[in-house]
Structures are given as C-alpha cells and as structure tokens.
Amino acid sequence: MEHILSILIFFPAFAAILGFLVNKNAIRAYGITVVTIEFLLSCYLWLGFDNSDFTMQFKEFIPLISQYGISYNLGIDGISLFLVMMTTFMTMISIIGLSERKELKNLILTVLFLEMTMIGVFVALDVILFYIFWELSLVPMLYIVGAWGGKYRIYAAVKFFIYTFTGSLVMLVGMLYLGYIFYTETGVWSFNLLDWNVLVMPIDMQMWLFVAFFLGFAVKVPMVPFHTWLPYAHGQAPTIGSVILAAILLKMGTYGFIRYSLPLFPDASVAFMFPIGILAVIAIIYTAMIAYAQEDIKQVIAYSSVSHMGVIMLGIFALNVEGIGGSLFLMISHGIVSGALFILVGVIYDRRGTKMMSQFGGLASVMPIYATIFGVVLMASVGLPLTIGFVGEFLSLLGFFAVSPLLTGLAGTTIIFGAVYMLVLYKKTFFGVITNPLNEKLQDLNKRELSALVPLVFVIVYLGVHPKPLLEPIDNSVKRLVQTMYVKSVEPTTKDAIASVNTIGEKR
C-alpha cells in the first residue's frame, strides 16, 4: 500500500464520521470492526518493515505551505513502528472490553477520533504536523474525562488540559525558533525533522531549546513535579479513558524526548543527563511510596504508572543503545500491562460500583479466572522474569548503570516497592475470607471481558519469553540515533560521554 500511513491516520476519523449514521444498537459492533481493521492495517507495517534499513520507511510527502517549508510529511522507523502497533492494538482492546453504557455511540466515535491523533503523533516527520496532532489529542481526551468521568470529572479534565496545553505552548515557541534558526543557517524555511537533524548548534542555544521542548514532553510523561494532573485524570476518567491515557498518551511524551530532544540537542541532553536522572529516581521512589499508601485500587495503578515512567526516562537519558532500546521496549510493555490493569479495575467497578480495597477480600474464591488473570498481569507489572515487564526494566536499568551505578541502584528499588504495593493490593482484594455479603455472588469474567484480557495475557507472556521480534528493529534504529548524537556533538565532553557509556554497554 503506497499510502498506508495516511490510511492508518485518517481511516478511524473517516469511520467515526460515518458512525454518526450507524444505529446506536449496532455501534459497538461497528466500533470493534473499525478498530480491528485498523490493527490489521498496522500489522502490514510490521510485515513490510525492513530491519536492515535504518532510514525512515513508508514515507509520504506533500508540500502544504512551501514558502515556510511546512509539509505533509510522514514516515516510521524501528522507534515508531511498535508504538503505532501498540496504539492500534490497545485501542482495539479497549473498545472490545468497553463496559460504559452512557452515550455509548458518542464515546466510541470520540475514541476513533482520538486514535487518529495518536497515530499522527507517532508518524509525523513535519514538526508543525506533529504539533497539530499533539494538540488535537487533548480535545477527545478532555471530552472523554469530562463527559464520562466520575464526580470530580470537570476538575480533572480542566487540570489535565491546562497542564498539557501550557507545556505544549512553550514547546511550540521552541519549535518556531528552531525553524528560524534553520532559516538563518540555510536561507530556506523548513520544518522537516530530518532536515533539522543536520543542524549543529552551540551548546548555550541547545540548552534553552532543550528546556522549551522539555516542558512540553515532561508534562505529558508526566515527570515529577509535573505529575499531579495524572492521578486526578485516572481517578475520574472512565475505564476506557484510563486505558488509553496510560497505555498510549503518556508514551507520546517519552517518544518526544527520543525523537526530538536527543538528536536535536545532543550536548544539552548530556548536560541534563544527571538532573533528569535524579528527577526520574525521585519519581520512581516517591510515587511508589504514595501508591503503597492508597486505598483506591485505581489510584495505586495510577501512581504506579508515574513510577514506571520514571524508569523509562532513566533509560532514555542513559544515552546508550541498551538504555534507549530498553526504554522503548518498556514503553510498549507498560502500555500493555497498565492497560490490562485498568481494564481489570473496571471489571470490579462495574460489578460493585467501588474501587476501594476495604470493600473486597476473598475474591479469588468467587472470581477465580479474574484472580488468575489479575495475578499474571500483576507479576508483569512488578517485572517478574519471563514476563514483558522484566525485559524493558532490566535493559533500562542496565543502560543507566553505565552512567551512574548509584542512581541505578536507587532506581532498582522500584522492583521492591512495586512488589510491595502490588502484592499488598492483591492480598487485600483476593485472599482471605469474604466479609462483605455483596461479594458472595459476584459474576466471574464474561465473554466480552475475556476477549479483551486474554490477548493481553498472551502478549505479556510471549514477549516476555521471546522479545527479539521487537528488540531487533528497535536496536537498529536506536544505534542510528546514538550515532547521530555523536556526530552532531559540538562539545568534546559530550562525545566522550556518549562514547564511554556505549563502549561499556558493548563490552557487556
């Protein structure tokens, strides 16, 4: 397919527009059909992807505003390939497992529009096009939280929008200024990211621009201290909103660091390596402790997400192949695992109307299938070997060990803390005797819920045992990224830092 990326972007939106004509009683089947076709189309990318080609593939280019170098420019490499696939897969799973009944038609059509924007972010090579998709993704998510959320949904939706929109505006200023720099250097305007990758800037300019991009990406991740919007958004969002937010939207921030910050500002990335590493370690430990203190199951998982995103940030700023490759794998594994956990919380909330651990206990005896699947996903969340969660965490920490064994040791406590708060949650919810009569006749997982959760469990186990299909394309593109950083560095200390951590990694 010559225009496969354009089809992937606009097919969900086109289907959403047609969806207004679909009868509300058939909208679930229609939505599942659309997202399944979208997922199968994304699988074509994987089948047609050339692992030996380090450049962008499936490229599309149409000039839009030629005098300013703005174009419709798309392409993917090993860094974005599996993020696109995860987006289509998790959107499909979230609609298959959809339990909300209030205005179901509007909800499904909103999710389809959201899918368009998320895929656009991961495949756009024109910076202005990237920013348009980046900002458009706020609108459907704002609507999902505000219209289908809990009691404090308006507060959560507005806080989510203000935080992310403000950070994005600062990033836009940096993008426009970088476009101006390219114009002053070359005499032509261009917002093509591949053109920008040849720019070599002095370190003081890199530092200011790095900060501008950092604010846009760090809020989306979210990094401490920009994380306070996330627990509110998760706590008030409907299940499908939490699944998409944790699985995909947060990864847009970490993807931005890899795609923009590292290759455009290599010297600044090295200069900020330790400050960001310290912030990441604080996020890992601090939010893990907050997760342990929660009584709301959904809030435990929400703070757990912030903690795991800290490990991803640590891997990214290891600035070596192991760390960046591990962080990309962890982005995918966290998307699968966190999405599954939020679906599982939604299952019990649908039956009881509560997410408080104190309201449960002994569920393993009345919902054995639910307890088994929850246990498998929980083990992946804490990084049990032979599950998908182990591979990414191990590689991310291994990568940063070459930078700082001390910070890596502190970050490694995420495995301990994660096991503590997740096992305590499991014990309080599933073990012991049933003390609440309302739990005695709870229904186990139905066919709809199983059809959403079983594929997730399969992926969790399969990629934990055999991660090579993902790691090989990722590593090839990451090697090119690290080489680009080394070549573009203007500071000898930057070249030494990048060379040293990668040499250590190669010796291992």
Confidence of residue 503 (pLDDT cuts 50, 70, 90): low
Average the pLDDT over 327-348 and give the result.
93
Structure token pair of residue 167: 């950070």
**Beta carbons of 45 and 74 less than 8 angstroms apart:** no
pLDDT at 83: 94
Closest CA relative to residue 378, chosen from 339, 334, 413, 426: 426
More confident position, 224 or 177: 177
Confidence of residue 102 (pLDDT cuts 50, 70, 90): confident
Count of Cβ atoms closer than 10 Å to residue 105 Cβ: 18
344-361 pLDDT, tens digit each: 999 999 888 888 888 888
Average the pLDDT over 192-215 and give the result.
91
**β-bridge mates for residue 76, sequence order:** 57
DSSP state for residue 221 in the 8-state scheme: T
Average the pLDDT over 491-505 and give the result.
76
With a CB cutoff of 8 Å and minimum separation 6, the contacts of 156 are 145, 149, 150, 229, 232, 233, 235, 236, 237
Confidence of residue 34 (pLDDT cuts 50, 70, 90): very high
pLDDT at 466: 92
pLDDT at 211: 94
pLDDT at 504 over 80: no
pLDDT at 279 over 60: yes
Confidence of residue 439 (pLDDT cuts 50, 70, 90): confident
β-bridge pairing 57-65 and 70-76 = antiparallel
pTM: 0.94
d(CA 212, CA 48): 36
Question: How many angstroms separate the most distant Cα atoms in the chain?
Answer: 75
pLDDT at 506 over 70: no
d(CA 70, CA 191): 6
316-332 pLDDT, tens digit each: 999 899 999 999 999 99
pLDDT at 505: 52
pLDDT at 494: 79
Average pLDDT, the chain: 90
Residue 144, helix vs strand vs coil: helix
pLDDT at 1 over 70: no
Average the pLDDT over 470-490 and give the result.
87
**Beta carbons of 361 and 433 less than 8 angstroms apart:** yes
Structure token pair of residue 221: 């991740």
pLDDT at 70: 93
Q: H or E element: which one contains 61?
A: strand 57-65
Confidence of residue 367 (pLDDT cuts 50, 70, 90): very high
pLDDT at 69 over 70: yes
Please give the sequence-ordered ranges of beta strands (E in DSSP) within 313-446, or none if there are none.
none
pLDDT at 472: 86
Angle at 473 between CA 222 and CA 331, to 5 degrees: 20
What backbone torsions phi and psi does residue 383 show, to the nearest 5 degrees? 80, 35
**β-bridge mates for residue 72, sequence order:** 62
pLDDT at 508: 46
pLDDT at 476: 87
